[in-house]
């Protein structure tokens, strides 16, 4: 069983790499930057399968936890979608699930200009789409341009705002203005060389190059099928797995891609992915042998089940625990009364008993008062923000004009359908009632409906006052947290916050090259966003609790999507 709360070891490796590149005010080196020699080499081939193994199909049975909203790389934004498409679409780079190091995938090497603004990636020439077409730099250029076009409405486009002209183009009001997509800082120099020009030096762009949003997509297939291009039978992909079946609300089936350039290294022939939102059912199916893995979604196994599992001599040996670079929080609709008053938001945050939530409801993780967990570059240590303080919570609500909850309207807290999220919602509801004497309605929705319903474009009258979201690191830098999630204009800004000093500091930190100054700025941002303005109430940094059969050989990444192609099933 893994030690659950050692320091985020896997994350530290990559943090150190990125911090070194940021480097104490030093300018990027004059010589081209290339990955270490061992990183540029192709992974060592797996042992050749025996004749008997070759005749028997190797199948993995796991659970996703919810329906993916989309498996279009330019439209994906949630764990369910990202884990589904990870095996289908290759990136320029990949974050190794074991070491957390950035390694080549489509790119074999890369160079950075002396001023840090131009990144050039040199690609493999032996990768094909499942329809036989070659995967080229032009496919990446098309994908990035598609993600940035405002008509695409990519929810993750803001992650690419460091690319020259990306933010300006993406935020164009196409009903009243026009844009020139060819001014975007991405260009295929030839079939296997793609170049990015940035707005400012950003060492973390190497990690961004691994993200799904800028992975190549097939223009010809998209133009033929439109929004249905990712349906089974239509979809064209290029990774180790292909989508064979998607039975909505029930399961997805992925099969090994025989034309994948490293197919000989992929041992699992078929991955059967169930869509089970009730985690008690998930554990029951694991115990009956119908699932090989349970708990591999964004949440954790129910605390009641964890206690039982740890007491079981067999199951306890199959339980794996550890930290995730991920935070769960209560989001506030800051433009909807009564949560347009920061005193109300402060009261609701201070009334959350974070220790109880972690110990009795979740059963894993650590209490949180700030957004990014310690271990992320720039995350304050010790944490800042609002701690649990029940008397202070009452005082803040009284100061807002609602002593002992008098006159406070009934409000809604919305969450996505899951047995864990139901338990968390009920616990929050009880805490707010007991401490603040307010009534909170709970509202559950299936994931695709839920995430669409809290979009900033949703009319205010249809928005809940509060909602549940979480964030898992795409790369271990505060830029990926406070700037890309909560900035007033350069993020989705689910909270609908107006621009303040916090946003200015977050933007300044994104462009700062002195690592110590960046840390100071991020501490200010965290304190403002979650201690003063209270755009959200973080309450725990998640851990993972995963059951895996002894015959499953796999990794447990602190962050980054899981790579099924590196796993093995040895029955």
Check residue 181 and give its pLDDT.
98
What does the radius of gyration of the chain's CA atoms come to, in whole angstroms? 23
If DSSP codes are grouped into helix, strand and coil, which group holds residue 332? strand
Count how many residues are written for the chain. Answer: 571
Q: State how far the Cα of 282 lies from the Cα of 262, in Å rounded to an integer.
A: 32
68-71, Cβ contacts within 8 angstroms, sequence gap of 24 or more:
68/252, 68/448, 69/447, 69/448, 69/451, 69/452, 70/230, 71/230, 71/235, 71/243
Check residue 323 and give its pLDDT.
85
- In the chain, how long is the greatest CA-to-CA distance? 76
Check residue 55 and give its pLDDT.
64
**Integer CA distances (angstroms), 460 to 152, 303, 349, 496, in order:** 23, 35, 22, 10
Residue pair 106/91 in contact by the 8 Å Cβ criterion: yes
Structural domains of the chain sorted by starting position, each given as residue range(s) with its CATH number in brackets: 325-544 (3.10.105.10)
**248-273 confidence digits (pLDDT tens):** 999 999 999 999 999 999 999 999 99
Residue pair 278/538 in contact by the 8 Å Cβ criterion: no
* Residues whose CB falls within 8 Å of the CB of residue 516, separated by 6 or more in sequence, listed in order: 24
Beta strands in 228-351 (DSSP E): 241-247, 251-256, 270-274, 293-294, 319-332
Work out the number of other CB atoms within 10 angstroms of the CB of residue 210: 22
Nearest to 421 by CA among 456, 470, 385, 382: 470
In the chain, which residues have pLDDT < 70? Answer: 1-55, 299
Q: State how far the Cα of 555 lies from the Cα of 563, in Å rounded to an integer.
A: 8
Q: In three state form, how does the secondary structure of 53-122 look?
A: HHHCCCEEEEECCCCCCCCCCCCCCCHHHHHHHCCCCCCCEEECCCCCCEEECCEEEEEECCCCCEEEEE
Q: State how far the Cα of 205 lies from the Cα of 198, in Å rounded to an integer.
A: 9
Any bridge partners for residue 197, and if so which? 118
If DSSP codes are grouped into helix, strand and coil, which group holds residue 531? helix
Task: Output the CA torsion sign for 207, 262, 192, 186.
Answer: negative
Q: State how far the Cα of 88 lies from the Cα of 130, in Å rounded to an integer.
A: 10
**379-390 confidence digits (pLDDT tens):** 999 999 999 999
Q: State how far the Cα of 341 lies from the Cα of 335, in Å rounded to an integer.
A: 9
Q: State how far the Cα of 526 lies from the Cα of 372, in Å rounded to an integer.
A: 8
Q: Extract the tokens encoding 380.
A: 């304050």
pTM (global) more than 0.85 = no
DSSP one-letter code for 377? B
**Integer CA distances (angstroms), 247 to 237, 243, 275, in order:** 19, 11, 9
Pairing state between β 568-569 and 552-553 = antiparallel
């Amino acid at each position: 069983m893994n030690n659950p709360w050692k320091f985020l070891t896997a994350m530290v490796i990559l943090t150190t790499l990125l911090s070194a590149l940021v480097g104490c005010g030093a300018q990027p080196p004059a010589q081209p930057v290339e990955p270490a020699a061992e990183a540029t080499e192709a992974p060592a081939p797996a042992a050749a399968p025996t004749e008997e193994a070759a005749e028997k199909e190797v199948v993995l049975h796991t659970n996703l936890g919810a329906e993916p909203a989309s498996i279009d790389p330019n439209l994906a934004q949630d764990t369910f979608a990202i884990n589904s498409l990870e095996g289908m679409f290759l990136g320029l780079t990949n974050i190794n699930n074991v070491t957390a190091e950035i390694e080549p995938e489509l790119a074999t090497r890369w160079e950075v200009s002396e001023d840090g603004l131009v990144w050039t990636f040199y690609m493999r020439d032996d990768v094909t789409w499942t329809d036989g077409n070659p995967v080229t730099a032009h496919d990446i250029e098309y994908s990035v341009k598609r993600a940035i076009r405002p008509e695409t409405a990519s929810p993750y486009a803001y992650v690419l705002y460091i690319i020259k002209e990306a933010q300006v183009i993406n935020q164009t009001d196409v009903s009243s203005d026009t844009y020139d997509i060819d001014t975007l800082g991405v260009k295929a120099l030839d079939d296997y060389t793609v170049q990015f020009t940035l707005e400012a030096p950003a060492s973390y762009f190497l990690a961004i190059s691994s993200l799904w949003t800028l992975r190549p997509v097939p223009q010809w297939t998209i133009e033929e099928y439109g929004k249905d291009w990712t349906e089974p039978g239509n979809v064209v992909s290029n990774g180790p797995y292909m989508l064979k079946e998607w039975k909505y609300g029930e399961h997805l089936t992925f099969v090994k891609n025989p034309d994948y350039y490293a197919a000989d290294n992929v041992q699992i022939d078929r991955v059967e992915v169930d869509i089970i939102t009730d985690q008690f059912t998930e554990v029951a199916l694991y115990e009956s042998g119908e699932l090989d893995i349970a708990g591999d979604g964004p949440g954790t196994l129910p605390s009641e089940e964890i206690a039982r599992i740890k007491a079981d001599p067999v199951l306890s040996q199959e339980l794996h625990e550890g930290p995730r670079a991920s935070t769960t929080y209560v989001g506030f609709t800051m433009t909807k009364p009564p949560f347009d008053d920061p005193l109300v938001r402060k009261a609701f945050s201070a009334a959350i008993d974070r220790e109880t939530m972690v110990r009795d409801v979740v059963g894993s993780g650590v209490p949180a008062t700030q957004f990014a967990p310690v271990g992320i570059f720039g995350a304050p240590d010790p944490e800042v923000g609002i701690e649990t303080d029940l008397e202070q919570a009452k005082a803040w609500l009284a100061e807002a004009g609602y002593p002992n909850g008098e006159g406070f309207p009934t409000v809604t807290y919305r969450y996505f359908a899951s047995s864990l999220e139901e338990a968390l919602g009920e616990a929050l509801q009880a805490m707010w009632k007991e401490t603040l004497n307010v009534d909170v309605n709970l509202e559950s929705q299936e994931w695709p409906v839920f995430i669409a319903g809290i979009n900033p474009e949703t009319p205010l009258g249809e928005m809940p006052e509060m909602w549940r979201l979480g964030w898992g690191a795409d790369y271990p830098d505060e830029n990926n947290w406070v700037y890309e999630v909560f900035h007033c204009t350069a993020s989705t800004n689910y909270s609908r916050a107006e621009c303040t000093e916090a946003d200015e500091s977050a933007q300044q930190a994104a462009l700062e090259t002195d690592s110590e100054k960046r840390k100071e700025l991020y501490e200010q941002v965290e304190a403002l966003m979650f201690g003063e303005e209270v755009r959200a109430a973080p309450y725990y940094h998640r851990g993972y609790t995963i059951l895996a059969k002894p015959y499953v050989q796999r990794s447990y990444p602190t962050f980054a999507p899981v790579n099924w192609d590196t796993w093995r099933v040895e029955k």
